[in-house]
Amino acid sequence: MLRLLKETQTSLARKLQLGAAVIFATLLLLVYLYTAFVLRHDPTLTDLSIRLQGPSLNHPLGTDHLGRDVLTRLMLGGQQTIGYSLLALAAALLIGTAAGMVAGYRGGWLDRVFMRIADGFLAFPDMIVVIVLSGLLGPGLHSMIIAIVMVKWVSYARVVRTTVITESKQDYMLAARTNGLSPARMLTRHLLPHIAGQVLVLASLDLGKVILLISSLSYIGLGVQPPTPEWGAMLNDSRPYFQLAPELMLFPGLAIVLVVLCFTVLGDSIRDLYDVKKEVRG
């Protein structure tokens, strides 16, 4: 009875977390639509006559040190942060999936080369490697995306490689080879469906981490460059005015925390759902 009660409480807590995350994600989508079609202020237009003003009807979250509307920059900054995170994650997913499938299926020297490269990246924390690569490539959006992709493809490649090696020994793969199917057809028709679920679960868990990476790089000046609004860059711009106007750092910082928390909860829920489906199929 006690065990059943604990399981019920755990299930209810997960459902509440998932519901809150879905609601917040819906609000993010509405904010995106608002900023895409109903912008009232130019996010890069400076007006020193209204700098560091508090909330008002015209500026609901006030203005920053250059007189720019904080709400407009915060919403557009969300587009930049989340949009670039999705772009980098999608590129890493595609590259890692392709590399893992080829390495796992072909084996031999190609597999050893891919895995040694992967081991080299995994030997250091993601943040350190991304900072080093971004510094070598130079500050800017393209360098940031390339650095994140170069770090993140590794985890997808390893997961896909392991799955391909395991599935290649199954009877249906042996039958496919016997029937003369080409390697490309076996990879796309038979192996890819087994890989897709695991890769998507991993990507959903990675999204929050990538958002933190992009915000961190922009905060230290290696990511999105001014005057483009981005949450990490907004935090950096607001540091000298923390005592005078602490809300300038509070708003983007709180946005980062809430968005990362939201996507982390969604990722955990997707992982649990995938595990349940896997158990049912098994």
The string of DSSP codes covering 216-260 is HHHHTTSSSPTTS--HHHHHHHHGGGTTT-THHHHHHHHHHHHHH
Q: What's the pLDDT band for 92 if we cut at 50, 70, 90? A: very high
What gap in Å lies between CA 250 and CA 177, rounded to an integer?
Answer: 59
Across 264-282, b (16+ Cβ under 10 Å) vs e yields: bbbbbbbbeeeeeeeeeee
Residue among 159, 150, 149, 145 nearest 97 (CA): 159
- Only one residue has tokens 């460059």, namely 225
> Is 262 within 8 Å of 175 (Cβ atoms)?
no
> Is 212 within 8 Å of 125 (Cβ atoms)?
no
Query: Could you report the per-residue pLDDT of 218-269, keeping only the tens digit for each?
Result: 998 888 888 888 899 999 998 888 888 888 999 999 989 888 888 888 877 7
What gap in Å lies between CA 7 and CA 22, rounded to an integer?
Answer: 22
Sign of CA dihedral 139, 82, 47, 248: negative
Kindly state the average pLDDT of the residues 96-116: 82
Query: What's the confidence (pLDDT) of residue 244?
Result: 87
Query: Could you report the per-residue pLDDT of 24-40, keeping only the tens digit for each?
Result: 667 766 766 666 566 66
Residue among 281, 251, 263 nearest 64 (CA): 251
The mean of the pLDDT values for the chain is 80
Residue 207 pLDDT exceeds 50: yes
- CA 157, distance to chain mean position in Å, is 17
Q: What's the pLDDT band for 91 if we cut at 50, 70, 90? A: very high
Q: Where are the alpha helices (DSSP H) in the chain?
A: 2-37, 70-106, 108-122, 126-137, 141-168, 171-178, 183-185, 192-219, 231-238, 247-281
Query: What's the confidence (pLDDT) of residue 210?
Result: 92
Query: What's the confidence (pLDDT) of residue 280?
Result: 39
What gap in Å lies between CA 120 and CA 137, rounded to an integer?
Answer: 19
What gap in Å lies between CA 234 and CA 271, rounded to an integer?
Answer: 33
Distances (CA, A) of 7 to 14, 15, 16, 19, 58: 11, 12, 14, 18, 50
Residue 130 pLDDT exceeds 60: yes
Distances (CA, A) of 182 to 158, 189, 230: 23, 10, 47
> Is 241 within 8 Å of 248 (Cβ atoms)?
yes
Query: Could you report the per-residue pLDDT of 184-196, keeping only the tens digit for each?
Result: 777 777 677 778 7
